[in-house]
Amino acid sequence: MKLGHAMLNQMKQHLEQTYPYEGCGVMLGKDNAATEIYRGTNIRQERQEDRFVLDPADIVNAEKYAKQQGIDVLGFYHSHPDHPARPSATDLESAWESYYYIIVSIEKGKMGTIGLFRLSEQGNGFIEETITFED
């Protein structure tokens, strides 16, 4: 998947602002090239430092926005505050087929590593994908 630098900067800003809690949102673009994010709200009431629930209204609004712009919802992103950018068992439980998932490690309030994943065909794990950064 290709990620635009402007989109990456927006994601970085969003996820650093939500620290020490998990931030989340939707990735938008076309043909496996993510060019925009739609900031989401973590509506989880407890354990926001290591769990998130993306507000369903944000998903609906992101889909409407994408349709208006002639782009697609490519997947979702969220942060792991002070933890590695690797999927957790909780991430696996909530993953949907055919979408990309970006996990960003936020270490002491600053963006660390980024991981890109897709659900395996069997749905029992994630496959790590390659990220290409471009303008």
Question: Annotated active-site positions, please?
Answer: 22
- Are 77 and 59 in contact by the 8 Å Cβ rule? The answer is no
The span from the CA of 63 to the CA of 134, in Å, is 24
Cβ count within 10 A of residue 42: 20
Tokens (6 digits) for 62: 């992101």
Longest Cα–Cα distance in the chain? 38
* Cis preceding linkage at 87, omega within 30: no
Handedness of CA 32, 116, 53, 5 (dihedral sign): negative
Burial category of 2 from C-beta neighbours within 10 Å (exposed 0-12, middle 13-18, buried 19 and up): middle
